[in-house]
Structure 1
């Protein structure tokens, strides 16, 4: 590797003809073309184009949502452009982690992982105490809120 950036490492498995370029803590500025060269006569090279994407989190609806007392709060968080599904998606109410097994009861979360991951928060029998900001916080993306 021809760089002083220590995030870049060339890796080779003994007994293999394959070499890997590993980039740790990938950043947007790392996007571009990378060339692998083999020192033969004539030289052999292969160019690979790297596109860097950043996961995006959105709570659907809003930014403000109005719910009648006694009805069900139904919030959906979508995580897209993620190279792999987030290992977990947490929900917060007023910056406090929601406890799905709280004595209040009636709180359900259904999470689906895939190319686009989603987490659906259902809170039955909404009351005044349930008002406020809800935040979806996936493990691999910035959080997003709705009030």
Structure 2
């Protein structure tokens, strides 16, 4: 036999989603608890907290029963009881019950979901990679977290990722991003060299990323914009070669005889990097004399091979142009 108004729950027990390491607070609001008596028991009805999936009693009224220092219960001396779980761990996930020992018993349940932000598994994830031009390479990225993270690949420079459209296709699709743990690159070209980012995200901030540098190796290639350069005596002239090489090449200039040119008051040399593998070579010859006329070579060498470009410097007296070369060479003339 029970006496007094029957307790009832004022609000449903709310489900919680909490990142690992944060605190979880369940709030149970019970009306009419203080005036209710159960036959044979002079005490008022009490609120208990139970882990429903394991049937473990966590707390009764204001006393913690379980041996877990991270749990505490509070009561506001009116109708509100709270179960506090500090620094939640993955094993705290599950169904929780707020129970009142009425006759029959009353209870309500809610679920605690513990989410974990993504974390890169470095020992299972690729580092910087090298592939010969024309070869294939697979970049791998693994991450932990709950829910399971999604992996997205992007170029650090926001460029396109070239992915073969079919298993037997020579066509490549240009994509701004690619999903999946493995990024497969086939018949790799030098334009695919650069930094790639694998980004792991599961909706729990923060998302994380790892940077991987893809090095594409090939022997040097030299392009000479102007193989014939004309300039008047006693003016400065600039010779140019465009080099593509990976790994980085050693670049230098020689005369046609093979004599290496050294920077001094007469010669000024610069290497201007345009990309990971592209370099612009410039040789400035100051106040050219008759002895400076003739052939010059730009030479590029790396661990895979070497290449050279040839330029011929001739005297231009301001009156006579050598056919179609005249317009091409104007940019190198200083009258």
1:68 aligns with 2:62: no
> Any conservation in 2 of the 1:72–1:123 contact (CA below 8 Å)?
yes
| Alignment partner, residue 147 of structure 2 | 83
Higher-Rg structure is 2
Distance in 1 (CA, whole Å) between partners of 2:172 and 2:28 is 61
CA shift, 1:94, in A, is 2.6
Among 83, 89, 92, the alignment partner of 2:154 is 92
DSSP 3-state at the match of 2:191? helix
Change (3 A) 1:134 1:57: same
| Alignment partner, residue 105 of structure 1 | 172
Distance in 2 (CA, whole Å) between partners of 1:80 and 1:136 is 13
> Any conservation in 2 of the 1:91–1:98 contact (CA below 8 Å)?
no
Higher strand share goes to which structure?
Answer: 2
In structure 2, list runs of 5 or more residues that go unmatched.
1-10, 34-44, 51-57, 59-70, 72-84, 90-114, 166-170, 214-335
| Alignment partner, residue 22 of structure 1 | 16
Among 116, 127, 135, the alignment partner of 2:197 is 135
DSSP 3-state at the match of 2:141? strand
Change (3 A) 1:139 1:97: farther
Higher relative contact order (CA 8 A, sep 6+): 1
Root mean square deviation of aligned Cα: 3.6
Task: Give me the TM-score of the superposition, normalised by structure 2.
Answer: 0.29
Task: Give me the TM-score of the superposition, normalised by structure 1.
Answer: 0.58
CA shift, 1:138, in A, is 3.4
